[in-house]
């Protein structure tokens, strides 16, 4: 239809359908934020469970992590959406997406937190205990703050992956950024504007992910700088 994929006409077409892209952007953002919150909460809880001493809790965390990590996300989202819908308890596309993506990345976050907690020397736990801190106080004031440095890079990695993984909503008919872009380029009236559409889509993803990566890098650098400064002071 268009001789040149990047013709002005194609860009105009994308512009006139900007609402589709913005809606996709908004749904991806919303899904991401809620799924990130869920994955962090799950990751923290299961990370604490698997780094603790209670074998029963460890086993539960292990099952969750292994089960989620060794089955495809696409299968999980289909199961959650279609199985629930057909049993008459459908929870909708967006909720299915948020929950399945949150669950999926929660398993990876759990491993991130576990590694972070296990990187803290035993003496820190003993010191806290000897001062009379219970489990919650010890984690909150002494252990978890020390894990930030270790956890930050892989956590950011997971968050960026999570945002990109919102594209799985496509398979259950979502209206996220990837799905909307794909519908646009394959639509009867809108077809053919592949180049500009995918560029816009990519730019919108970049706008979400890049500031996050940057912010995490800056935070990490400032933590490292504090360490170096305090070590050099003497």
With respect to another protein, which residue has the nearer C-beta, 199 or 223?
223
Distance (Å, whole) CA 98 – CA 31: 5
CB nearer to another protein: give 72 or 145: 145
Instruction: Select the residue interacting with another protein from 1, 8, 188, 232 (CB under 8 A).
Output: 232
**Site residues (CB under 8 A) for another protein, limited to 109-168:** 121, 123-124, 126-127, 129-134, 137, 141-142, 145-146
**Placement of tokens 């491993």 in the chain:** 111
Q: Which two tokens stand for residue 104?
A: 């999926």
Closer residue to another protein in complex, CB, 16/127: 127
Q: Does 222 bind another protein (CB under 8 A)?
A: no
Least Å distance, CB 142 to another protein, is 6
Q: How far is the CB of 131 from another protein (least distance, A)?
A: 4
Least Å from the CB of residue 88 to another protein: 48
Cβ 213 to another protein shortest distance, Å: 24
Q: What minimum distance in Å lies between the beta carbon of 132 and another protein? A: 4
Cα angle 98-104-106, degrees, rounded to a multiple of 5 = 90
Residue numbers at the binding site for another protein (CB under 8 A): 121, 123-124, 126-127, 129-134, 137, 141-142, 145-146, 226-227, 230-234
């Amino acid at each position: 239809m268009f001789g040149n994929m990047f013709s002005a006409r194609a860009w105009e077409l994308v512009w006139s359908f900007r609402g589709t892209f913005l809606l996709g952007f908004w749904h991806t953002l919303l899904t991401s934020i809620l799924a990130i919150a869920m994955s962090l909460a799950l990751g923290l809880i299961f990370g604490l469970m698997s780094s603790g001493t209670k074998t029963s809790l460890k086993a539960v965390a292990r099952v969750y992590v292994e089960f989620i990590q060794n089955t495809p996300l696409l299968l999980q989202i289909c199961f959650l959406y279609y199985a629930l819908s057909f049993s008459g308890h459908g929870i909708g596309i967006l909720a299915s997406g948020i929950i399945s993506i949150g669950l999926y990345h929660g398993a990876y976050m759990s491993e991130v937190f576990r590694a972070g907690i296990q990187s803290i020397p035993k003496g820190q736990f003993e010191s806290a205990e000897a001062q009379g801190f219970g489990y919650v106080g010890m984690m909150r004031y002494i252990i978890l703050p020390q894990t930030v440095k270790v956890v930050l890079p892989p956590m950011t990695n997971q968050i960026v992956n999570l945002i990109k993984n919102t594209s799985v909503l496509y398979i259950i008919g979502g209206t996220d950024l990837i799905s909307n872009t794909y519908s646009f380029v394959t639509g009867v009236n809108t077809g053919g504007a592949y180049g500009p559409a995918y560029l816009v889509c990519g730019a919108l993803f970049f706008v979400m992910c890049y500031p996050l990566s940057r912010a995490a890098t800056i935070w990490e650098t400032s933590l490292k700088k504090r360490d170096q400064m305090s070590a050099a002071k003497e």
